[in-house]
Amino acid sequence: MTYLFDDPADEEQLLERNTPTMEVDPTVPDTVFVYHNRGVHALYLSTWMEPVLNAITHKAADRRPSPTLKEAIQRAPRTSLDWVIDTYSKEEK
């Protein structure tokens, strides 16, 4: 991990004071923005949302028996994410 401060304890204090806020993208409902003291991350839930919803509602796209919710979660890809806003300048890093 790259530290912003000379002393890692200062970094830990910064993270302890961090209060992330999540907000759904109003134009793309399967995208969630997480605002935090280092910037903003975008989480893209579409990679796993459809298979999980299909398992919940018992709908399979190819009309085969739908997997159980547990199986759908285990097989689903991870959430994709991007760091879309970095609030620290190169000098601060």
pLDDT in tens, 23-51: 999 999 999 999 988 899 999 999 888 88
pLDDT at residue number 79 = 92
Whether the model clears a pTM of 0.75, i.e. scores above it, the answer is no
The answer, yes or no, to whether residue 92 has pLDDT greater than 70, is: no
The secondary structure of 12-73 as a DSSP string is HHHHHT---EEEE-SS-TTEEEEEETTEEEEEETHHHHHHHHHHHHT--TTSSPPPPHHHHH
pLDDT of residue 63: 62
Q: How far is it, in rounded angstroms, from Cα 40 to Cα 43?
A: 10
Percent of the chain at pLDDT exceeding 70? 71
25 contacts 32 by C-beta, under 8 angstroms: yes
